[in-house]
Structure 1
Amino acid sequence: MKNLLLRINDVIYQACIWVAGTAIVVMALIIPWGIFARYVLGSGAGWPEPIAIMLMVLFTFIGAAASYRAGAHMAVTTFTDRLSPAWQPSISLLVQLLMAAIALFMTIWGIKLCAATWNQFMSTLPTLRVGISYAPIPVGGFITLIFVLERLFLGDQSHRRVVNFELLEDSKEAV
């Protein structure tokens, strides 16, 4: 059961990396187009900036979940490093519980925010609902909550190598 959960979380983790990476690449292509259209073509397009902002929100919340699992998220350990080794596991547990509370808050209140703004449309993109633009908040919170629970019950997975399961299945068939 543990291996199945780790495999599922590996897939979620890799999906987060791909989504965040794609968002950053698309954003890096959209912004120069907006500058080119405004200063070279002389007619600024209205869509590049709001799309780039939405991609940044997507990158931030989904990428934060992935970096939390990878152990690469910002962690200030100045205080905990100075504690006696006897206290460090307790403080680590407290930190994980606080992270779970924050992730749960993001999920619940993010869903409420999306629902409250669902019938509003963006002024710069009139076909796009405002609630969709806020969707990365509860999605990122839920994924972070999954990774926090994984860390609490299955241990820190940041040093474990994530296996590409498609290649693993192909190698089993070849044998």
Structure 2
Amino acid sequence: MKDTLLRFNDGLYMTCIWVAGLSVATMSLIIPWGIFARYVLGSGSSWPEPVSILLMVVFTFIGAAASYRAGAHMAVNMLTDRLPPNLKQAASLLVQVLMALICLFMAIWGAKLCATTWNQFVASLPSLRVGLTYAPIPIGGVLTLIFVLEKLLLGDQSHRRVVQFDLVEENEGAA
């Protein structure tokens, strides 16, 4: 059961990395197009800026979930590093519980924000619902909550090698 859960979370983690990476890559292509259209073609496009902002929101919330699991999130350890082991463990547990509460807040209130703004449309992209632009908030909250629960129940996975899902491993296992 533990291995199945870890493999699932490994896949979720890799998906987060890919989504965040593709968001940044796409954004780095869209912004130069906006500059080219405005200064070379002489007519600015209205879509590059709002799309880039949306991609930055996706990168931020989905990338933060991956960063949390990788142990690359921001942490101030100056005080906790000086604590005795039993207090250090209690502080770590408190941090995880507080993180879970923040994730629940993001998921619940982010979903309410999406629902409340669903019938509004982005002015510069009239086919895009405002509620959809806020969707990375609750999605990021749920993803981070999954990784927080994983850390609470299965321990820190940031130093474990992520299992890759490819045919080479399956073929090697059959040989």
TM-score, scaled relative to structure 2 = 0.97
Distance 1:28 1:93 in 2: 39
Amino acid of the structure 1 residue aligned with 2:125: L
- SS in structure 1 at match of 2:126: coil
Match of 1:36 in 2: 36
- Structure-1-length-normalised TM-score: 0.97
Matches of 2:34 and 2:64 in 1, distance apart?
Answer: 27
Query: Identity across aligned pairs (percent)?
Result: 68
Deviation digits for residues 11-52 of structure 1, max 9, x if unmatched? 000000000000000000000110010011100000000000
* Deviations 1:69-103 (CA, angstroms, capped at 9, x unpaired): 00001111112112223310000000000000001
Q: Which moved more, 1:121-130 or 1:164-173?
A: 164-173
Cα distance in 1 between the residues matched to 2:58 and 2:156: 25
> C-alpha separation between the residues in 2 aligned to 1:15 and 1:125?
27
Give the aligned partner of residue 173 of structure 2.
172
Paired position in structure 2 for 1:17: 17
Count the aligned residue pairs: 174
Unaligned runs of 5+ in 1: none
Residue aligning to 1:147? 147
Query: What's the counterpart of residue 46 of structure 1?
Result: 46
Give 5+ residue unaligned stretches, structure 2: none
- Secondary structure in 2 aligned to 1:86? helix
Which range moves more in the overlay, 76-85 or 42-51?
A: 76-85
